[in-house]
């Protein structure tokens, strides 16, 4: 059995294998299934903790952040390093086109920084944004759009 090595791997596995067509995590996911897939119990626990924190954060995601902003967000060195220029450009583009709000941007950044991954690929980052959108009421259309966008990219790479 191959051991997968971090929380992000668990989250991506859950995303790939246990999200249903309504973009919700299927209830039958068990720790045993994830362990059989090669994940360490500590990483499984951290992944479920991350998801619980996401749900908790989305319940009050607009507190302290304006829904619209004409200001400019300066990213910290850690944010720039962990996301890289392509992911940051994608995030800025989503906000510019009003697919996400400044509050949603901050929630995405908070969730990314809560992971133990030093660097994220653009695809991993997009999937994290999708997880945030899926768990935030009122963002169903944006989540469906992003899911379709990600799927189209994956299909283009496969061909």
CA atoms within 13 A on the CB side of 51: 17
State how far the Cα of 40 lies from the Cα of 16, in Å rounded to an integer.
18
* Contact assessment for residue 38 and residue 1, using Cβ atoms and an 8 Å cutoff: yes
Is 59 within a domain?
yes
> Which tens digit of pLDDT belongs to each residue from 32-47?
888 888 999 999 889 8
Give bridge partners of residue 19 from the DSSP assignment: 25
Does the pTM of the predicted model rise above 0.85?
no
Domain span at residue 48 reads 7-158
> Which tens digit of pLDDT belongs to each residue from 48-106?
888 888 888 876 654 544 455 556 889 999 999 989 999 999 999 999 999 999 989 99
Question: For the chain, how many structural domains are there in total?
Answer: 1
State how far the Cα of 155 lies from the Cα of 89, in Å rounded to an integer.
22
State how far the Cα of 65 lies from the Cα of 83, in Å rounded to an integer.
21
Is 1 within a domain?
no
List all residues 6 or more positions away from 13 whose beta carbon is below 8 Å from its beta carbon: 4, 34, 37, 39
Is 146 within a domain?
yes
State how far the Cα of 61 lies from the Cα of 40, in Å rounded to an integer.
31
Report the pLDDT value the prediction gives residue 20, as an integer from 0 to 100: 58
Is 2 within a domain?
no
129 pLDDT tier (thresholds 50, 70, 90):
very high
């Amino acid at each position: 059995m191959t051991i997968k090595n971090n929380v992000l791997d668990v989250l991506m596995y859950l995303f790939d294998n246990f999200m249903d067509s309504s973009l919700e995590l299927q209830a039958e996911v068990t720790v045993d299934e994830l362990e059989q897939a090669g994940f360490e119990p500590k990483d499984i626990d951290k992944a479920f903790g991350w998801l619980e924190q996401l749900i908790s954060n989305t319940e009050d995601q607009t507190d302290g952040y304006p829904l619209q902003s004409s200001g400019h967000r300066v990213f910290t060195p850690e944010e720039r390093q962990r996301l890289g220029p392509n992911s940051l450009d994608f995030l800025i583009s989503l906000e510019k086109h009003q697919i996400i709000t400044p509050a949603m941007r901050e929630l995405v950044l908070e969730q990314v920084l809560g992971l133990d991954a030093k660097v994220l690929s653009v695809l991993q980052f997009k999937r994290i944004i999708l997880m945030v959108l899926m768990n935030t009421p009122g963002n169903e259309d944006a989540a469906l759009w992003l899911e379709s966008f990600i799927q189209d990219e994956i299909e283009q790479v496969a061909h």
